[in-house]
Amino acid sequence: MIPFEVLATDPGSNARRGSMLTAHGRVETPVFMDVGTRACVTHCSPDDLERVGTQVVLGNTYHLMIRPGIEAFRALGGLHKFMRWSGPILTDSGGFQIFSLPGSRTINEKGARFKSYTDGRYHQLSPELSIEVQTAIGSDIMMVLDECVNSTSPREVVHAAMERTHRWALRSLAARTNPAQALFAIVQGGVVPELRRESADFLTQHEFDGFAIGGLAVGDKRSQREDTTAFAAELLPRDRPRYLMGVGTPPDLLNAMLAGVDMFDCIIPTALANQGTAFTSTGRVRVTRLPSYLDESPLDAACSCYVCKTYSRAYIHHLFKAYEPIAPRLLALHNLHYYHSLMAESRAAIERGVFAAFAKERLEQIDRHEHAAQRLHVA
Amino acid sequence: MIPFEVLATDPGSNARRGSMLTAHGRVETPVFMDVGTRACVTHCSPDDLERVGTQVVLGNTYHLMIRPGIEAFRALGGLHKFMRWSGPILTDSGGFQIFSLPGSRTINEKGARFKSYTDGRYHQLSPELSIEVQTAIGSDIMMVLDECVNSTSPREVVHAAMERTHRWALRSLAARTNPAQALFAIVQGGVVPELRRESADFLTQHEFDGFAIGGLAVGDKRSQREDTTAFAAELLPRDRPRYLMGVGTPPDLLNAMLAGVDMFDCIIPTALANQGTAFTSTGRVRVTRLPSYLDESPLDAACSCYVCKTYSRAYIHHLFKAYEPIAPRLLALHNLHYYHSLMAESRAAIERGVFAAFAKERLEQIDRHEHAAQRLHVA
């Protein structure tokens, strides 16, 4: 079992401050993990990641088995060496991609059969093969292959996918060969409390290193997502890390930390950077729509990142207008720094026992900025 | 006059090792200047430039007057502050862009009238306005506005453009207000030796800080370009810096240094990086066409740059295949380092008095690699 210790709990909420020891180093939780789907966190080299405060990089089994492929990882010695990242790596199993990516695919009890987007050839992905690929990748935390369905599907559909996810989880556990690579199970059950409870009850009887809350990134409303997260987190053992997959915005993270979640990943910081949006202490800034292109101030006067210490809004605005490829890169560095700072401040607030108040204040602040932006938009 | 000193000359060629003192620091020549057309060297931040060995950044008056515009430079305090580059900046006048960029434009004695590619509005660019913009940009070395024509044009056309370039050069000199900003004239005359001589004779009678050889990037054959460069360089005063505009490949630079040229700029290192081509000590490498995608060696085993010290060919190949935006960035950093290393080695060879032999060996080496690559391509 992966060493995981709860160092402090928040008296006003279910938030926890933890520490997890992987084969490639320690992870302080709650943690936001940077999405590096195709062996690269978009726009960032490993030294950039160190600079923004990244602890864990998340790779994706589906994408990495298509390119560069399992043989490449075997020949080249795994993903750490391939991308020159010496810190912890978590790999998603590919279940979500098989569910969400376009193209022909069929799923049965054995696994999934899907068409590669690179060469049109058909690939199989089974629970066993997903573990085999993740083993070759050398990830520190592997995920079981799950069957994802839209959470608004009929209950029978959600129920059947949950039960298959359970059977696949046990097959994944049996397929693991290297005990130094942790393996997390994924709780499914859509937005139906009884199914979530059934899923958690089943999976927590087995020797998984941690537990993820899956299936909450698509098809459900924000309030349902928050309710389900809070409910699902409470069903999970206190002595194991809890991971909310694919979530989310800063308010999503704050709410989930209040519910006791320890780990997160999301493409939002880099995806919004590509669109020209920066997270700041005074709300989101659409760089290309700055009211003045002569603004000499940094993106965020309260931010200590390299980008804010170096460049003016005027210059970043110009870089976007001129389609310079460094423009989204600078916003990606800033946004990732914003996320990691939010997590570091949250960890400190839990340690001080004041996280409930901290989260409330930050949530209200973000809410005020969003309302102000909406008024501006309407006016 | 900008302080410029010839520190050493090569006994076997016309090559010179010089040093020039600009308002933003010293430039060791021969120098390759990085093209930062729109206030950014593509893919590079100022700390990247320091890392690859950049001495001078080249901005472009035409592009910068369109965006962010002269008012922005006045309000924000010039290009150095805008892009956070504290080293020397040279600005091209916009003459070449007015000649080469598509869109409606008319040229008469007063100047050029052209349609902006950003908003379709018409702009004027005269010798006086070009200097006014370059003054606001705060460039350390300004260029006169010239009239470029295709060097294969009829002799009367080349002659008329040359004479207009002379009149515009004198108007530019008269328009300069800040003597701390150097001003270079541009020798024109196509590939006609008598016209090149007439142009050099005329321009060198005036108090320009340096002299450029213009009009040699388009329409002429390589041998004509080399002959004209060698001929034109000899016509220029020995105590002033000589700048060959828009050139070129590594063999172009070596040949022009042999002819006594001190300064160069070209988009080739970054443009080829975008296409996936790296310069190496064993020839050009097309990263996407590497014979093996499992190659653990660096791009160039003889290279000391950050990219070669960090990443394998296998990984860079993968990044290109996956369309990760960091892929062309890594090649840009490597290619610029290659160019700056070539110049540093050339400077050292001139100091040691062995540049003729050094250049011959490098030219033969590059030639062998190109022939080998062609044979491979044919086979």
* Rg over CA atoms, chain A: 21
Average pLDDT of the residues of chain B: 95
Q: Domain A4-265 belongs to what topology?
A: TIM Barrel (3.20.20)
Mean pLDDT of B215-231: 82
**Vertex A306 angle, CA B49 and A246, to 5°:** 115
Query: What does the pLDDT look like over A52-97, one tens digit per residue?
Result: 999 999 999 999 999 999 999 999 999 999 999 999 999 999 988 8
| Average pLDDT over every residue of B180-203 | 96
* Residue in chain A nearest B322 by alpha carbon: A38
Confidence at residue A299, expressed as pLDDT on a 0 to 100 scale = 97
**DSSP assignments along A337-365, one per residue:** HHHHHHHHHHHHHHHTT-HHHHHHHHHHH
- List the single residue in B76, B294, B319 with the smallest CB-CB distance to A72: B294
Q: Give the CA count within 13 Å in the CB-facing half-sphere of B105.
A: 24
Q: d(Cα B194, Cα B158) in Å, to the nearest integer?
A: 12
What are the tokens at A37? Answer: 């789907």
- Residue B321 with chain A: CB contacts under 8 Å: 67, 118
Kindly indicate the confidence band of residue B377, based on its pLDDT and cuts at 50, 70 and 90. Answer: low
Contact B325 A322 (CB under 8 A): no
pLDDT-derived band at A220 (thresholds 50, 70, 90) equals low
DSSP string, B137-201: HT-SEEE-------TTS-HHHHHHHHHHHHHHHHHHHHH---TTSEEEEEE--TT-HHHHHHHHH
The 3 state secondary structure assigned to A316-329 is HHHHHHCCCCHHHH
A309 touches chain B (CB under 8 A): no
Q: Catalytic pick from A10, A92, A220, A252? A: A92
Position A221 scores a pLDDT of 79
Each domain of chain A, given as residue ranges in start order, spans 4-265, 273-378
- Residue A377 pLDDT class (50, 70, 90 cuts): low
Q: Is pLDDT at A375 greater than 80 in this prediction?
A: no
**Phi/psi-derived region of residue B229, left when phi > 0, alpha when psi is between -120 and 50, beta in every other case:** alpha
Report the sign of the C-alpha dihedral through residues A142, A146, A152, A156, in that order: negative
pLDDT at residue B318 in the model? 97
CB atoms near residue A281 (< 10 Å): 15
Q: What is the pTM of this model?
A: 0.96
CA distances from B126 to A328, B112, B121, B328, B373 (A): 35, 6, 17, 36, 46
Tell which wins on pLDDT, B26 or A218: B26
The DSSP call for residue A296 is: -
Catalytic residue among B34, B220, B265, B300: B265
Instruction: Please count the residues of chain A.
Output: 379
Per the rule left: phi > 0, alpha: psi between -120 and 50, beta: everything else, A84 is: left
Lowest mean pLDDT among A111-120, A126-135, B194-203: A111-120
Choose the mutation target among B37, B40, B296 for the interface with A, i.e. most A CBs under 10 Å.
B40
Q: From B154, B235, B253, select the one nearest B198 (Cα to Cα).
A: B235
φ, ψ of residue B325 to 5 degrees: the values are -65, -15
What is the C-alpha separation between A11 and B369, in angstroms, rounded? 70
A40 touches chain B (CB under 8 A): yes
Question: Looking at residue A44, what is its pLDDT?
Answer: 98
Q: Where are the alpha helices (DSSP H) in chain B?
A: 46-52, 61-66, 70-76, 78-83, 95-100, 127-137, 155-175, 193-203, 222-234, 250-258, 268-274, 306-310, 313-321, 326-351, 355-378
Mean pLDDT of chain A: 95
Q: Which of A243-247, B217-221, B294-298 has the lowest mean pLDDT?
A: B217-221
| Cα B21 from Cα A89, distance rounded (Å) | 50
Residues of A (320-339) whose Cβ lies below 8 Å from B: 321-322, 324-326, 328-330
Lowest mean pLDDT among A99-103, A352-356, B319-323: A99-103
Q: Assess whether pLDDT exceeds 60 at residue B379.
A: no
CATH topology for B4-266?
TIM Barrel (3.20.20)
| DSSP H helical ranges for B275-354 | 306-310, 313-321, 326-351
CB atoms near residue A304 (< 10 Å): 9
CA dist., res. B373 & res. B48, Å (int): 31
Instruction: State the pLDDT at residue A102.
Output: 63
What is the reported pLDDT for B378? 59
Helix (H) or strand (E) holding A283: strand A283-286
Q: B interface mutation test: which of A34, A45, A50, A62 has the most B CBs within 10 A?
A: A45
In single-letter form, the type of residue at position B295 comes to: D
- Chain position carrying tokens 């020397």: B88
List, for residues A246-292, the tens digit of each pLDDT value.
999 999 999 999 999 999 999 999 999 999 999 999 999 999 998 88
